Amino acid sequence: MDVLAYIESGVIESYVLGMTDTQESAQLEQLMNQYPEIKQAVTAFEASLERSALSNAVAPKTEVKEKLFAQLKNEFAEQSTAKTIPLQSSVWVKYLAAASIILLLASSALNIYFFKQFNNVNDKYVALLSEKNGILADNKTYQTKMLDMYNSMQMMSDPAMLKVSMKGVAGKENNLATVFWDSKSKDVYLLANKLSQPNADQQYQLWAIVDGKPVDAGLLEDCNGLCKLKNIPAAQAFAITLEKKGGSATPTLTQIYVLGKV
């Protein structure tokens, strides 16, 4: 069992805060007996909560204490001349009643305070857990992009790759794309160096010019680095047109963006 991963999973914090179900609690309590590290982590988190509560504790106001003892002093003074047991008993009854009220108020105040502290800690814990999951997801996405870019660079530097630069046609000079054509497998890869963002209902389509006729070479999808399209055995040139979403059987000649000869 990976004890460190289990400790960092967040189940210990959930257990101490009372957020685990019966099965999770039973499992953790069993693991505490088997692994001292887990028991130590539970104890450490409980201690951190206690330190947080004590550091933020609010003492009762001084005047409240003074008024209470003044009232009790007056009660004792009024009963000091009494001779009968019932009167003395009455004093103690009032004293105990007052003490009970104090304890009740203090207990209520502490309950409210700890409830607020629990909510604050729980909210922070949930936020941190969400942030942690988001960072992990972003990191995986970043690693995937970096791997795709590395693989693309490896392919582009391969001597077997034939590079075909496609420059923008008249009126679209700012556009640029590059075809990398594997001379061995005849697979075609496209690098969209600079193509304007199409509308949601449009998509770029690559065409291979074979014996003067356009042949569908594939649609440009969202990808990192080189986009692998179709296998083209032979071609004299390549061109890209902007077509409707899903592509077209024949190129729209008025929508040619880039063109390059092999």
Same domain, 12 and 142: yes
Same domain, 16 and 139: yes
Q: Give the model's pLDDT for residue 85.
A: 43
Same domain, 18 and 71: yes
Whether 181 is covered by a domain: the verdict is yes
Per-residue pLDDT reduced to its tens digit, 174-227:
999 999 999 899 999 998 888 988 999 999 999 999 999 999 999 998 776 788
Whether 155 is covered by a domain: the verdict is no
Same domain, 21 and 141: yes
According to DSSP, residue 252 is labeled -
Find where tokens 């390549």 sit.
238
Rounded CA-CA distance 150/156 in Å is: 10
Rounded CA-CA distance 191/181 in Å is: 11
Which residues of the chain form beta strands (DSSP E)? Answer: 161-168, 176-182, 187-194, 202-210, 213-219, 227-231, 237-244, 256-261
Same domain, 8 and 75: yes
pTM of the model as a whole: 0.45
Same domain, 139 and 212: no
- What does each of the 262 residues of the chain score in pLDDT, given as a tens digit? 788 888 878 788 778 777 778 888 899 899 999 999 999 988 887 777 666 655 555 555 566 556 656 665 665 565 555 444 444 555 555 555 566 666 655 565 666 666 666 667 667 767 766 776 766 565 555 555 555 555 656 666 678 889 999 999 999 999 999 999 998 999 999 988 889 889 999 999 999 999 999 999 999 987 767 889 999 999 999 999 999 999 999 999 999 999 999 9
Tell me which residue range forms the domain holding 172: 161-261
Whether 156 is covered by a domain: the verdict is no
Whether 58 is covered by a domain: the verdict is yes
Looking at the DSSP bridge assignments, the partners of residue 131 are: none
Looking at the DSSP bridge assignments, the partners of residue 228 are: 189
Same domain, 142 and 203: no
Q: Give the model's pLDDT for residue 18.
A: 75
